[in-house]
Amino acid sequence: MHFIDVPTPGGSEQMVIAECDALTPTLSEVLIDVAYAGVNRPDVFQRMGAYPAPPGASTILGLEVSGRISSVGADVTQWQVGDVVCALTNGGGYAERVCVEADHCLPVPSGLSLKEAAALPETMFTVWSNVFDRGRLARGETFLVHAGASGIGSMAIQMAKAMGARVITTASSREKCDVCLKLGADVAINYNEQDFVAVVKEVTDGCGADVILDMVGGDYIPRNISAAAIEGRIISIAFLRGPQVEMNLMPVMLKRLTLTGSTLRPQSVAATTRIAAYLREDFWPLLELGKIKPLMHPENIDLADAPVAHELMESNKLIGKLVLAVNPTLELENG
């Protein structure tokens, strides 16, 4: 099978098409013929050598796919050959085939294409795990998510709004802010023109945000603390501006804040299975009804052009979720 290889960590030019032997699923896995593969920031970091694959995981880039099951392990009972699924992978998505734990697969929601389905797993698993599990976002609370026009940000807006939260978001341009408002955000802040801390305090009558999802880091860390409400929960999932900062922690004590964070990929099979079950119960019906839908970048990019996708992601001009077309003919076969 063909896949994207990164022989030497570095820039996007290090990504090349390579070939390897066919895969065989373990007892608890399924083998998926990949239609589309999602592109995510961790892929970029792994390509650069800053986010190595966990022990035992595939070293091939790619954390989510959609496609058709072509083989099942001996212990798998919930899926059959021919089933169309999307799945969270532990690596290996930038390839024609990938082995995935059967419990980490979800059905393609009716009304969504395979292309759209490939944009679901990494974002929705991440949002549920951090915003609703770790962050305990509840109906009626105020939720602040940074990078609202990104794949994760755009899905976080919709999921939080669907659960009855008031949503505030930040983005880098008026165009992106308009997109966020159309997705359901109550307030969208252009951080290049406004101080998000001041705006959050203004629109909450000085109370602040109950839950903050941050993938920026750096100088946003102390600013998040300033923008947080009493008993607020701040969850970090990435550090685009760096993980280190000098700050005064006294407000953390005075506001009784919780500072937490997580990475999805190193979590156990059981933990990831639990997230999949919650998503299928709580959010898959909303996808089926069209109340939640991934925000897709319109450009079609083939697997062989993966460097182009990474360059686009690193440009900070991307709006929505980007996927690679691996075998789009599976889309036609799916009707």
Structural domains counted in the chain:
2
Contact 157, 145 (CB under 8 A): yes
- In terms of domains, do 187 and 299 share one? no
Share the mean pLDDT of the chain: 96
Q: According to the model, what pLDDT value does residue 334 have?
A: 55
- In terms of domains, do 158 and 227 share one? yes
- In terms of domains, do 319 and 271 share one? yes
- Rounded average pLDDT over 289-306: 95
- In terms of domains, do 203 and 247 share one? yes
- In terms of domains, do 100 and 18 share one? yes
- In terms of domains, do 189 and 292 share one? no
- Rounded average pLDDT over 182-194: 98
**Which token pair is 14?**
């290090």
- CATH code for the domain in which residue 32 is found: 3.90.180.10
- In terms of domains, do 15 and 54 share one? yes
- In terms of domains, do 129 and 245 share one? yes
Which residue, 261, 290, 305, sits at the end of a domain?
Answer: 261
pLDDT classification of 156: cutoffs 50, 70, 90: very high
- Rounded average pLDDT over 132-143: 98
- In terms of domains, do 8 and 93 share one? yes
- In terms of domains, do 90 and 196 share one? no
> DSSP states of 212-262 as a string?
EEES--TTHHHHHHHHEEEEEEEEE---TT-S------HHHHHHT-EEEE-
Q: Residue 173 and residue 196: Cα distance in Å, rounded?
A: 13
Q: According to the model, what pLDDT value does residue 317 have?
A: 87
Q: Residue 12 and residue 287: Cα distance in Å, rounded?
A: 33
Which residue, 261, 282, 312, sits at the end of a domain?
Answer: 261
Q: Count, in order, helices (H) and strands (E) of the chain.
A: 12, 15
pLDDT at 331 over 90: no
Q: According to the model, what pLDDT value does residue 332 have?
A: 62
pLDDT at 322 over 60: yes
Which residue, 217, 238, 261, sits at the end of a domain?
Answer: 261
Residue 275, domain extent:
2-120+267-333
pLDDT tens digits for 193-241?
999 999 999 999 999 999 999 999 999 999 999 999 999 999 999 999 9
pLDDT classification of 316: cutoffs 50, 70, 90: confident
Q: According to the model, what pLDDT value does residue 170 have?
A: 98
Q: Residue 66 and residue 75: Cα distance in Å, rounded?
A: 22
- CATH code for the domain in which residue 131 is found: 3.40.50.720
> pTM for the full model?
0.95
Q: Residue 301 and residue 308: Cα distance in Å, rounded?
A: 8
> How many angstroms from the chain centroid is the CA of residue 214?
13
- In terms of domains, do 275 and 250 share one? no
- In terms of domains, do 17 and 99 share one? yes
Query: What's the Cα-to-Cα distance from 122 to each of 2, 246, 265, 322, rounded to whole Å?
Result: 22, 31, 9, 12
User: What single letter denotes the amino acid at residue 284?
Assistant: W
Contact 20, 94 (CB under 8 A): no
pLDDT tens digits for 67-124?
999 999 999 999 999 999 999 999 999 999 999 999 999 999 999 999 999 999 999 9
pLDDT tens digits for 30-80?
999 999 999 999 999 999 999 989 988 999 999 999 999 999 999 999 999
